[in-house]
Structure 1
Amino acid sequence: MQYNEKIQKIAQLIRESKKTLALTGAGISTESGIPDYRSPGTGLWEKHDPVKTASLSALRRDPAQFYALNLERWTAYGNARPNVAHYALARLEKMGLLLGVITQNIDSLHVRAGSTRVWEVHGHLRTCHCMDCRKTYPFDFLVARFRQGENPPACTACSGILRPDVVLFEDRMNEDFFQATQVISGCQLLIVVGSSLTVYPVAGLPGVARQLVIINRTPTPWDEEATVVVNSSAGQVLRDVMAELGEVIPADYGT
């Protein structure tokens, strides 16, 4: 299929589906200025071994180094703004054409774009908690303590080490993931946006959907199973799909 035919087909699938979900990965946020993790030549994990820098054992072994390596990168996410792709998915939900978004991202951009049903299967950076007493704090509290020279940031109640509410390497999956595995049951159409579909267990979710659309700049292991594959910009593709559905989203929407 040519590009325009693919756009028309995706719009048709969305119209006809009675239960549609989106599954998003780092590629949907690159257009908001957030680097992805696995793209050849540019992926973050080509520069840093995640098991050594962003794992539960790394946090426990040397929490000061863990924060020195990761915190500034995470706080930069707070300056990012949702892009057209995020707004398109939020609009699809409001139109009743999308049940919700399952996301691997921790940047909260779907929430900021207005999506109300979001399953953040790798957690988020809005809160943190004490590893000892489990007291919860806003993530900004952790950042403020770090920038005041406290590394690692500590709990004010028991002096335990604080950790962000994200799923680190070696962590068990969070409650959102288990909810997502239930929500996706009976899914007629899954729209994958910006995910390499290589990180399990999330990469197994497409197998539950009856039909699959993949929008990603590079090939994925699920491409042969998909009804439509578009290797292009998530923002461009979703803006064109929305136009096909009669909804105009300007390229600079939300900026």
Structure 2
Amino acid sequence: MSGKKEYQDIGRIVKYLNDHPKCKVMFMVGAGISTSCGIPDFRTPGVGLYDNVSKFNLPFAEAIFEINFFRENQKPFYTLAKGLYPGNFKPSLFHYFMRLFHMKGRLKRVYTQNIDTLESATGIEDEYIIEAHGSFRKNHCIDCNKEFPMELFKKVLEEDKGYAKCPSCKGLIKPKIVFFGEGLPDEFYDSWDKDKEALQSEDQCLVFVAGTSLMVYPFAALPEDVPEHLPRALINMDPVGDFLNNPRETDIILEGTADEFAEKIARDLGWFDELMRISGKQDSKQKTTSVKTSKNQSNKTPTESVIDEGGLCSTKEDKELFAITEKVRNLDLDKENKKDEQQ
């Protein structure tokens, strides 16, 4: 994208928002808005999550999020979950960009494919966030669906002694993340049905689509359902989905990172200082970093009754998989992959 074209497209966004001061904004986001936090996306060659777990003995890379595989082997997902659990990462600049619209009363909804809970970590109220693929926010039994305490599940991960089991039916416990083979939450469908109908009658609303490949349905169909009289703005490394296959005259496509354009748009709106303040950043060069959480020292809730000792063990494979998640958190995988190729 040329500098002139980029400047003009950002100008179109800013003009639309300024010309329509009561205009609400909707976000549809994916893993790309969290990569600067130290969380990998799924499909980027060499550094994506699937590319890196595929070197282990999995039948296919996506098996780590496949419900039938999880029933047979919990170790890969549990080890990965330990490294990706909420509290280990801080929201990105783009997350706080969304928060700005919420603070100004101009946020309609955030539809997210992400499971990292970073949208709510900024302070956006739950009623505005639809986690299409679930999240680490809650845990449940995959058999009876009974909820399982978050702190207890976190303790099971940290102690690394086994996998959690349901105290009622002894079924397996996992976060309420939608695995392949499971249906999306009813909340996703109910919310989108209402929002889609409301958009038909609204004469002003800007829809941002950011950091997503738009490859996983039904989420990938959301931009297609946006009425043609409303503008859509894609922030992504490349045009994808409906923006590529059925582009509209009113579409705005900004090719680059989500953080980059969050900063540029905020500057032109006159919101930059406020964005820096709420995000805790000093300047545009400051990057978000992953932080380790302290272990839960509480001994009030015994974990022995909900742990199956056969689930996780200190094998070489487990240690290697955990090492991968550590590298993922520090985004050091690209360098490591180059070493592997040379060998």
TM-score by length of 1: 0.89
2:195 is matched with which residue? 184
Aligned length: 253
Q: Is the 8 A contact 2:96 2:278 kept in 1?
A: no
Q: 1:216 to 1:152 in 2, by over 3 A?
A: same
Question: How far off is 1:3 after superposition?
Answer: 1.8
1:42 is matched with which residue? 47
- Describe the SS at the equivalent of 1:23: strand
Which has the larger Rg? 2
- Describe the SS at the equivalent of 1:79: coil
In structure 1, list runs of 5 or more residues that go unmatched. Answer: none
- Describe the SS at the equivalent of 2:279: coil
Q: Is the 8 A contact 1:194 1:216 kept in 2?
A: yes
Q: 1:65 to 1:4 in 2, by over 3 A?
A: closer
Aligned mates of 2:120, 2:156 — CA distance in 1: 26
1:27 is matched with which residue? 32
Q: 1:251 to 1:231 in 2, by over 3 A?
A: farther
Match of 1:67 among 78, 100, 106: 78
Structure 1 position 151 matched with structure 2 position 171: no
Report matched runs for 1:127-206 at 5 Å: 127-185=138-196, 186-187=198-199, 188-206=205-223
- Describe the SS at the equivalent of 1:80: coil
Identity of aligned residues (%): 28
Aligned mates of 2:257, 2:194 — CA distance in 1: 27
In structure 2, list runs of 5 or more residues that go unmatched. Answer: 55-59, 200-204, 282-343
TM-score by length of 2: 0.68
Question: How far off is 1:183 after superposition?
Answer: 4.0
CA RMSD between the two structures: 2.2
Question: How far off is 1:207 after superposition?
Answer: 1.0
Aligned mates of 2:38, 2:14 — CA distance in 1: 27
Could you give the per-residue CA deviations for residues 32-91 of structure 1, whole angstroms, max 9, x where no partner exists?
1111011233221223334322111111222345424x323432x531101211111111
Question: How far off is 1:243 after superposition?
Answer: 2.2
**Which has the larger displacement, 155-164 or 114-123?**
155-164
